[in-house]
Chains A and B, each alone.
Chain A
Amino acid sequence: EPEVTQTPSHQVTQMGQEVILRCVPISNHLYFYWYRQILGQKVEFLVSFYNNEISEKSEIFDDQFSVERPDGSNFTLKIRSTKLEDSAMYFCASIHTFMNTEAFFGQGTRLTVV
């Protein structure tokens, strides 16, 4: 069964450093998402991406965050200058088409900012 894959599974970084979280969505999917889950809390929407541009973003997704799909397969989330409060599990998700609305989640990247 096809699945969304994320790398790395765990990343530890110094406060102020840049991190890039990588995702490979399911190959024929067209809509891509990043979500964040702080330990023990709800899954929070960050950004959605379609047709090589951001469709929507939440207020969490400020200027420190960016996304891109550099090569038609990878979908990356960059945090330019990490803060302690960025420590969370980051999930990538993809959807085949807008009407086929099941979202498939990757296994997540646990980001720890120290």
Chain B
Amino acid sequence: GENVEQHPSTLSVQEGDSAVIKCTYSDSASNYFPWYKQELGKRPQLIIDIRSNVGEKKDQRIAVTLNKTAKHFSLHITETQPEDSAVYFCAARDNYGQNFVFGPGTRLSVLP
């Protein structure tokens, strides 16, 4: 089955700097890669996603890149703000079912 790894596990950046979180996946048939943000005590919420027919997608300060050959995808947050502080999870959809496999998460702290 699919295995998703995520790095780093914790990341601290100064407000205004950029943050990059990287994920790798194992199943070359996976074709959908969402990123979720989870604030303390709250539900995961989708912030951006990318499908395998696209190499990059951007939404304001957030972008995701996908390298299918290398089986990795990354989340880029520019001009970070304190409210970006949260745990971020990447995920990959197993193409043989409807299951989403999540990475272990990255705790992002944006320091004012």
Q: How far is the CB of A5 from chain B (nearest CB, A)?
A: 11
Across chains A and B, the number of contacting residue pairs, with CB separation under 8 Å, is 55
Q: Which of B49, B93, B97, B105 contacts A42 (CB 8 A)?
A: B105
Interface of B is mostly: strand
> How would residues 92 to 114 of chain A score, 1 for a CB under 8 Å from any chain B CB and 0 otherwise?
00010010011111111000000
Whether A101 touches B45, Cβ cut-off 8 Å, given contacts A42-B105, A45-B101, A48-B98, is: no
Contacts of B89 in A (CB 8 A): 42-43
How many residues of B are counted as interface, with CB atoms below 8 angstroms from the partner's CB atoms?
20
* Number of A positions contacting B (CB below 8 A): 24
The distance in angstroms between the C-alpha atoms of A42 and B87, with both chains bound, is 10
Asked if B73 is at the interface of the complex by the 8 Å CB criterion, the answer is no
Q: A91-B43, A101-B34, A103-B46 are in contact. Are A45 and B98 (CB under 8 A)?
A: no
Which DSSP category, helix, strand, loop or mixed, fits chain A's interface? strand
- If A31-B98, A42-B104, A56-B97 touch, does A105 touch B43 (CB 8 Å cutoff)? yes
In the complex formed, the residue of B with least CB distance to A56 is B97
Contact present for B99 and A56 (CB under 8 Å): yes
A residues neighboring B (CB under 8 Å):
31, 33, 35, 41-45, 48, 50, 55-56, 58, 91, 95, 98, 101-108
B residues engaging A (CB < 8 A)? 32, 34, 36, 42-46, 49, 89, 93, 97-105
